[in-house]
Structure 1
Amino acid sequence: MIQSIDRAARVLELLQGARHLGITELAARLELSPSTVHGIVKSLHEHGFVAKERGGQRYMLGPTLLRLSNVYLDTLDVRARALRWTQELSRRTGMAVRLGAAHFSDVLVIHHVLRPDDSPQMLETGMAIPAHASAMGKVLLAHDLGFQRTVFAEPLRSLTGDTVTDPARLALELPGIADLGAASELDEAVIGESSLAAPIGDARGDIVAALAVVFPSSQAPTPDPVLQALRETARNISRELGATIWPPHVAPADD
């Protein structure tokens, strides 16, 4: 690992989630000298990876990351194939729709369709959700043993009082999720919000993403037609990616 790149990446990680931090705060969290951190931040600033607060001394993520993230999203075949299907799923169910892919121990939302109503909503594309606390994450865990090993390698943090943080308990759910081709969560990531998710596979039969409908917990359990529409949409997207089987098979962990 190249030390300077590793340190720069850690600075960017600390600034995620709309955090604004100064040099002293960054240095303390990185356990590095302020002068070293200042040099790293100065280089990142010159390339637009971080930006400085107007009239302040704290830093935040910069516009270059937005441009690169948009380029990354545009290269994802699963996202391109899913666009019209996710829009139709939202229309059929009246719910918000997320498309997510594994990212370290999280699920990265790579596409988000807002609820088809006039209620205030925030676009969630680019948001990361801990895999163990989301329906999309459970689907990915059930179909990818390598991802499962990565997630279970670290302690599972609690987001709400309903978050499952015991890997053994969560692992017991996964075979059933793989057989059904669907997973659910109730208030596990955000109080008052729940979701159902289904897997999306590719031509090799591997899972590449998870598709979810998101709804207020007060509406749980969802009626059977919602689950049917979700599974049907996930299957159709998988077919467009060349899948000949659905749900995808369970991928073994790489040695």
Structure 2
Amino acid sequence: MGNRDGIMPRPEADTRKTLLSQGIDLVRFLAHSRNSLGVTEIAEKMELPKSSAFRLLGVLMELRFVQKNPVSQRYTISPEIFRFVHEVAHEFAPTRKLEDVMIRWAQKLECAVYLSMLSERCTYVVSAEGPLGGTFALGSAGPVHASSAGKIIVANLPEEEWFFYQPTAQDEKLTPYTNLDPARFRKELLAARESGVAWNLRETTLGVASVAALVREPLHPPRMAVALLVNYEEVAVHDRVSLEVHVRELAVELSKGFRPGA
């Protein structure tokens, strides 16, 4: 069983940062910076030796993830990094197989369609189509206990594993509707396992509701779900029962895409 600090137990590893992890940290740092930065400022803020920062920046420039202004000698994120993001998003096997189906359903239902995957205690959007989809949805994450996709995935895991995913008093209350009650979470999982769908009613984002169903890959344990997202005020318009029927049908169609020869 996992620990309650939010990460699954892993083998002991060297705590020293590798060049790769330092490079990723630097890319994240620059992505969050509002302005271009000089190497001295980068080194100071990241608590790195200036020589290490300079070396990392050189590697990232070779990868075209970072660019340097030849006049100011300051560094910023390169637009070419989005070519890499695009390649990952579009060539990742699940999204490549399922993109056309998701687009068709998003247009048919006039709502957003998210494909999410489980990692530790969160789900991550790996593909998004429709009105609430797009660039800003890709890679967005939410805790399992406040995610329709997370709930339906965990509901299909053995019950003895549910404890790892349940909310605690230390978890962030993302909205006034975020559930941090473990007993209620368990009831939601039992209901999801019975019905085949799970709901998120303003638990992650105010004004947004979603319903999710499990997407079955030829893998175990399950790790993927598809969700339909609508503005909360539109739930009555779309009709909850109809949305549940649609997301089940969509999940079945997406699951077929993973069959051999599909």
TM range (shorter): 0.7 to 0.9
Q: Which residue, 109, 126, 150 being the options, matches 2:125? A: 109
Q: Using the alignment, how far apart are the partners of 2:49 and 2:203 within structure 1?
A: 38
**Normalised TM-score (structure 2):** 0.71
Pairwise CA distance, 1:201: 0.7
Note the alpha carbon deviations across 1:82-138, whole angstroms, 9 max, x for none.
Answer: 2232223223322111112235554332222223xxxx9754453322233322232
Aligned to 1:252: none
Letter matched to residue 200 of structure 1: V
Aligned to 2:151: 138
Q: How many residues align?
A: 238
Structure exhibiting the larger radius of gyration computed from Cα positions: 2
Please list, as runs of the form range in 1=range in 2, the aligned pairs for 1:219-238 lying within 5 A after superposition: 219-221=234-236, 222-223=238-239, 224-238=241-255
Identify which range, 18-27 or 32-41, moves more after superposition: 18-27
Partners of 2:125 and 2:138 within 8 A in 1: yes
CA RMSD of aligned residues (A): 3.8
Distance 1:57 1:228, change over 3 A: farther
Partners of 2:166 and 2:185 within 8 A in 1: no
Please list, as runs of the form range in 1=range in 2, the aligned pairs for 1:1-255 lying within 5 A after superposition: 1=14, 3-15=18-30, 19-20=33-34, 22=37, 27=43, 30-33=46-49, 36-51=52-67, 59-103=75-119, 105-115=121-131, 122-124=134-136, 126-132=138-144, 133-144=146-157, 149=164, 156-165=171-180, 169-204=184-219, 206-221=221-236, 222-223=238-239, 224-242=241-259
Identical positions, percent: 21
Partners of 2:167 and 2:179 within 8 A in 1: no
Note the alpha carbon deviations across 1:14-52, whole angstroms, 9 max, x for none.
Answer: 455x65464677556644445533432343233222345
DSSP-derived class of the 1:220 partner: helix
Partners of 1:131 and 1:138 within 8 A in 2: no
Pairwise CA distance, 1:229: 0.9
Pairwise CA distance, 1:234: 0.3
Partners of 1:182 and 1:231 within 8 A in 2: yes
Structure 1 spans left out of the alignment, 5+ residues: 244-255
